[in-house]
Structure formats: structure tokens, C-alpha cells
Amino acid sequence: MRAKIKDYLISRKQSYAKTFKGVYGERVLDDLAKFCRANNSTILSDPRMEMVLQGRREVWLRIAAHLNMTDKEAWKHFNPNNGDLDG
């Protein structure tokens, strides 16, 4: 069961990497970074709009995490008590 979970997590990470690879992937990431406020505050005076922006930012953080983590980090994220891929 653990092997299936590890394979799934690694495969998902690789899918993110392949999806956002290349010129078109970079263009989409640039657009998403702006739309999701990757580098800007989401704090606003309107609490409803702030929550909308927080949701967008959460999506950006998930994409960025999958693009930047190693296989071992992907497993550790799912199983924080044991980041060992072999264990």
C-alpha cells in the first residue's frame, strides 16, 4: 500500500512538472502568478474578496510546491513522521 501511495505522489509531482514545462508552461505560470497573487499580499478591506484571493493563492502555492519539491519531499509532505522513501 505504501509503495502505491509513494508511486502516486511521485507521479503527481512529475505530472505537474510536465504540465508546466516549456515556453507555454512558463507563460501559463507567469499568468497564474499574477492572477493568484503569488508575490503580492492578499489582505484587503473587503473580507469576502480577501478570501477569494486567499483561495487563488492557495492554488498557486500548491502548484509551486509540486514544481519545486523532490520525490523525498513529496513523500514527507504526505507522511511527515517518516520522509524515508525506502521505509
Give the global pTM. 0.81
pLDDT at 87: 47
79: pLDDT strictly greater than 90: no
Other residues' Cβ atoms within 10 Å of the Cβ of residue 36: 22
Give per-residue burial for 7-28: e unless 16+ CB within 10 Å, then b.
eebbeebeebeeebeeeeeeee
Percent of the chain residues past pLDDT 70, beyond the cut: 90
- Cα 11 from Cα 24, distance rounded (Å): 21
Query: Residue 31 corresponds to which amino acid?
Result: D
- Report pLDDT digits (tens) over 37-55: 999 999 999 999 999 999 9
Question: What percentage of the chain carries pLDDT values higher than 90?
Answer: 69
List pLDDT tens digits, range 19-38. 999 999 999 999 999 999 99
Domain ranges in the chain are 2-78
